[in-house]
Structure 1
Amino acid sequence: MSDIALKVSDFSQWVDVGNTVTLEANEASFELSHIQAAVAHLDVEVVSVRINRTGQYQAPVPAYFPPTDGTPPAPLISNLPDFCDVRLTKRDPAGHQVAFTVWLPMTWNRRFLGTGGGGNRSHHEWSYPEGIVRIMTMPIALRNGFATAATDAGYGDDPRFADWPLDEATNQLDWSLIENWLHRSKHDMAVIAKAVIGAAYGESPIYSYFQGTSGGGRDALAQVQQHPEDFDGIWASDPAINWTKLCAADLWPAMVMKESGNPLPPEKLRVFRRAVLEDFPWLDGSIDHHMAPMHPVQFDANKVVGTVTDVGPITERDAEVMNKIWTGPVNRVGKSLWFGLRPGTESWGDNLVQFGIASTKEVNGVLEPEPFVMAVSYFKTWIFRDPNWDWKTLDTETYLDLFEKGVSEFSSRIDTNKTDLSAFSALSHKLLLTQGAADGAIFPDGVVEYYKVLVQENGGLDTTKDFLRFFLSPGDYHSSLEKGPGINVAEGMTALMRWVEEGEAPDSIQISAIDPQSGQVRYIRSLSSIEAMG
């Protein structure tokens, strides 16, 4: 029987710390010299140890996201319990200094919760709109009584958001930093954090968990695949796996619009989406369809030709562009290189980040496609290794050739799609894999395909159900609840922890849809796992 009180009180609070068996920290154990002695064998230097009883933390301004209006995009985080803030560094094999942060609550639930990154950054922002965004941050973990940790993987001070893999002095890829990002630094984070926890509290965590979404979901699966011993329970949400295909395919909508000379404005994209939802009203998640959306629906954009919009009628050229975006990139012999956007998916800016892979913008009064930053960065840094490369110089034939070249050259090293999870399974560790079926950044079909192959190569559902549950949420957008119903942080972590600690496998999880403007819940219902659906 678990000694922790799991009770969801809001979308980011699931541990009732007051009714949990906790350990009160002894401040004498927080001496820098004491913690340094505990991590010395790991070639780690303790930079600082500070007890914070203010209830607040001023998040630093990210080096890679400089303010544009003089106001730092770094909030003052409040409502924090008393904790000890430990900062450490370690050199990677190439000499890069990797930073680690470990937060230790004064009232500890005797568990460790590691955090993931986003995009190809190893450390997420310190705070997001809690309840709406499906991201585990250190403040959320701390409020739930966990010891928690994060790492910058050695490039936290690089102001280039996504281009950091390229050493611009040599125009070569920095493979040591890349290995840090892929898996090494998250593994080091787990090992270092557990050593710090043992020194600070006099005992190791009884359970260790990891949660990440998007790039952090990729981090989560990298831990499962490369370091299965690190965490008892892992939640990989909307994981950015199949990196070479994902990033290359993310450029496809912009390429289609550029090459056709016909960028689609949001007004027309909304009409296409509405038409799909009229035929398939359950796609946005507002209707319980009682079926898993394992495949995209079939819809011909030509059905919409002639529909009047505020910027003119839908034309045959518009429909051709839309159909190509939905189909995804196809090579000269008709082979699909990767998936396209699912029909009915929003990905042009009607969202919290006001952007998507099918976005456009006006430049000097002319509408132009605006490609996704991660896609442009992939070609710039990995393929061309030229920081000044301009995506507009790319034509369709060259794009298709380079798509396959990138997969051939890098897939085996960076795609994080290993399906042999026998080592993870043998440890009786648990994996919660979740994906929004209306994700406009991570193609859901890539994750569905990974799941199918994983099940097949691990002995079928009778075997994988012992360590894996997969949830696919209709209408659920990328890592947030703003579009359709999805799994919030608290419900997902509760399901994972009950599975790990009480043996209660999650055959269903409560999902919620939120109004992003008011924060009010629009509706709540239960979502069955793919395994439970049979």
Structure 2
Amino acid sequence: MSRFFDGTRGGSPRNAHAPHARGRHRMSALVGAAAASVVLTLGLAMPAAAAPPGGPSPLPQLSAAQPGTLKACESLVDFAFPSTKITQVSRVAAGTVSNGGQPIGEHCLVRGTMNERVSTFDGQTYAIGFEMRLPSAWAGRFLYQGNGGLDGSVAPALGATRGGESGLQMGFAVISSDAGHNGSQNPLFGREPQARLDYGYQAVGTLTPMAKALITDAYGRGPDRSYITGGSNGGRHTMVAAARYADQYDGFLAISPGFNLPQAAVAQLWGAQQWARVATTPADLSTAFTPTERTLVAQAILARCDGLDGLADGMVQNSATCQQAFSIKRDVPRCTGERNGTCLTKEQQAVIGEIFAGAHTSNNKEIYSSFPFDPGLTQSGWAGWKFGSPITRDAPAVGFIFTTPPADPSILADLQGYALGFDVDTEAAKIYATSGIYTESSMSFMTPPDPTHLDTLRDRGAKMIVIHGASDGVFSPDDTAAWFDELDRNNRGNAEQFARYFEVPGMGHVAGGPATDQHHGLAALVDWVEQGSAPDQLIASVNPANPEVPATWSPTRTRPLCVYPQVAQYVSGDPESASSFACERPRPGLAYGAR
């Protein structure tokens, strides 16, 4: 997390732990990682061994959910709950919708709104829109599906995660929402005080008891176990829920979480300004670092780091050591003439190095975390986040949602001018500010309060899995690793009892890139929560529909995702199979292929 400002959050200093910026010092986190264990099919691990004498006290074990049958569907149109209006109820036949090419079974679809109101600020009508899908064959579980971006639309409540069955296919009753505003209100809803708070955290808190009551009416009893998941902003919703609503949920699956979203958005504006320094076409920031040049850098990273795990396979598993081994200035040729894709200019090397080191003010105070160098930067999604999103997404988000007081709507006429003219030395502090009717800063309503002291989650036996791509172009896995490091320190090295972090080499934001990005994270979480089987590995596979998977890879390639700070090391056998790897603590400088 950033150490830029001294604002407080949940009683803990906002700079309580520094990120891995200026070198990504992950090696300090290698404390007591367990040896790799044999992994069962579908990426579910063997049950964790009992705590040794003198070790941490065992945490409560939650009981398994019990199945049930849908008792009511059409009659749910009469469902009564405070400030709730049901607008549609219908039965959906099996096979009407699908996930991963597989049909989803019969279920009941319920749509509605909560807390509809006319704003005294802008005269617009706001409401928390939602959709619930209730399977006829119920597993006794509830899943909150956190959606991404600025929200504003109700995505189908399928409970989809990457690679495995969706929550609805697994028998979960699933809810999805727009977080309190509709698409036509993006991004100016950020100027409406209550809409800000709903987007940040209150929509989840409002919807949760209503959803459980609706489940009770539909099945004759409430859910035995409740889960929440999401990627990107949905991952942020999940992280926020782990801190604010740990008494309401038993399992938390956060993918590529932007849990310090206001900081990351400011960093994006700062990054746009750096790219503009070396862009050959000022209106097109992507000309600062072209696809050919990104491929050049990716190849240089692979030349230094691909073999650190004992196998040259186009993937950097030992990312921590790679950050020590790779240098953008030393390992990428410097141009002596014109840019032609075979070199970088001195100015490009400086800008790229600065951006990966992390956003900072003119006097070098940190704004947001560093990013790791990873060959996944070749992907189009990485470029989209770095070059396009600062103008189209981050500028309006910073201006209207994260800045207090918010900017005037006139900035919409020239978002690029706003982004490139944003003075981080003076304006960045406004993400910590309150003013008049804006009683919470964006760093208060958007981020999880006290995220490294998840005592409620821990003490009631709930569990948390966080997954992040090493080539995420907007939310840094370094920030996520720093979060886990601090969580672990606050739990005397025992955070793995209830929370585990997995990094995915090559993966971009949420998915994609030259990566094995498909996993069964939700199934692993359920197994951990309800059976006590802690996931020492997740088995990840290639998405055959991903165009950025190299043609030289087998379409059936699998790799173990290891519990941080362990990394996958090649042992022997089929180089395309996860079974040929073991999760081990990274040891700098050791050639793992020579055993």
For the superposition of Structure 1 and Structure 2, which TM-score range results when normalised by the shorter chain?
0.7 to 0.9
2:297 equivalent among 272, 294, 307: 272
Aligned to 2:218, the other structure's residue is in SS state helix
**Any stretches of 5+ residues in structure 2 without a counterpart?**
1-39, 44-64, 120-124, 281-287, 434-440, 567-583, 586-595
Structure 1 residues 432, 123: closer, same or farther in 2, change over 3 A? farther
Checking the alignment, whether the CA contact within 8 Å between 2:112 and 2:129 is kept in structure 1 is yes
Quote the residue 1:466 is aligned against: 497
For 1:334, the equivalent position in structure 2 comes to 364
Which of 479, 482, 492 is the equivalent residue of 2:521? 492
1:325 aligns with one of 350, 355, 360: 355
Contact 1:357–1:372, Cα closer than 8 Å, also in 2: no
Q: Quote how far apart the aligned CAs of 1:479 are.
A: 0.9
Paired residue type of 2:526: M
What does 1:117-136 align with in structure 2 at a 5 Å threshold?
117-121=147-151, 125-126=155-156, 134=162
Q: Unaligned 5+ residue runs, structure 1?
A: 1-5, 10-19, 59-74, 167-172, 361-369
Deviations, residues 279-301 of structure 1 (Å, cap 9, x unaligned):
12269994687756388444133
Name 1:427's counterpart in structure 2: 460
Could you say if the C-alpha distance between residues 468 and 372 of structure 1 is closer, same or farther in structure 2, counting changes exceeding 3 Å? farther
Matches within 5 A, 1:303-314: 303-306=332-335, 310=340, 313-314=343-344
| 2:399 is aligned with 1:380 | yes
Going from structure 1 to structure 2, the CA distance change for 1:279 and 1:309 (only over 3 Å counts) comes to farther
More strand per residue: 1
Counterparts of residues 375-414 of structure 1 (less than 5 Å): 375-381=394-400, 382-383=402-403, 385-389=407-411, 390=414, 391-392=416-417, 398-407=423-432, 410-414=442-446
- The 5 Å alignment of 1:47-58 reads 47-53=87-93, 55-56=95-96
Q: Spell out the pairing of 1:427-466 with structure 2 (5 A cutoff).
A: 427-457=460-490, 459-462=491-494, 464-466=495-497
Residues paired across the two proteins, number:
471
> Structure 2 matches for 1:135-284, cutoff 5 A?
140-158=166-184, 160=186, 163-166=187-190, 173-260=191-278, 262=280, 263-281=288-306
- Secondary structure of the 1:514 match is coil
Q: Which residue of 1 aligns with 2:559?
A: 525
Q: What do the CA deviations read for 1:19-72 (whole angstroms, capped 9, x no partner)?
A: x9743323xx2243x6635x43x33222222112263259xxxxxxxxxxxxxx
Please say if residues 356 and 372 of structure 2, whose CA atoms lie closer than 8 Å, have aligned partners that are also in contact. yes
In 2: Cα distance, 1:235 partner to 1:493 partner: 7
**Structure 2: which amino acid aligns with 1:201?**
Y
Change (3 A) 1:484 1:255: same
Native 8 Å contact 2:240 2:448 kept in 1? yes
Query: Which position in structure 1 is the counterpart of 2:109?
Result: 85
The higher relative CO (CA closer than 8 Å, separation ≥ 6) is in 2
Tell me by how many angstroms 1:309 deviates: 6.6
CA change 1:36–1:292 in 2 (3 A) is farther
**Deviation of the 1:221 alpha carbon:** 0.8
CA distance in 2, matches of 1:528, 1:380: 39
2:66, 2:224 within 8 Å by CA — same for their partners in 1?
no
In structure 1, distance between residues paired with 2:109 and 2:409:
37
Per the alignment, residue 579 of structure 2 pairs with: none
**2:521 aligned partner, one-letter code:** G
Amino acid corresponding to residue 242 of structure 2 in structure 1? V
Cα offset for 1:347?
A: 4.9
Distance 2:266 2:357 in 1: 14
Structure 1 partner of 2:320: 293
**Does the Cα contact within 8 Å between 2:469 and 2:508 map onto a contact in 1?**
yes
The alpha carbon displacement at 1:430 in A equals: 0.7
Residue 418 of structure 1 deviates from its aligned partner by 2.4
How far did residue 396 of structure 1 move? 7.1
RMSD: 3.6
Residue 466 of structure 2 aligns to a residue whose secondary structure is strand
CA contact (8 A) 1:114 1:211 kept: yes
Farther off after superposition, 496-505 or 292-301: 292-301
> Is the Cα–Cα contact under 8 Å of residues 56 and 78 in structure 1 kept in the other structure?
no
State the Cα distance separating 1:452 from its structure 2 match: 1.6
In 1: Cα distance, 2:397 partner to 2:321 partner: 28
Letter paired with 1:479: V
3-state SS, counterpart of residue 168 of structure 2: helix
What does the per-residue CA deviation read over 1:165-223, in whole Å, with 9 as the maximum and x for residues that have no partner?
A: 33xxxxxx222112111222122332122111111111222211111111110010111
Per the alignment, in what secondary structure is the counterpart of residue 140 of structure 1?
coil
- Give me the whole-angstrom Cα distance separating, in 2, the residues matched to 1:211 and 1:294: 31
TM-score (norm 1): 0.77
SS at match of 1:278: helix
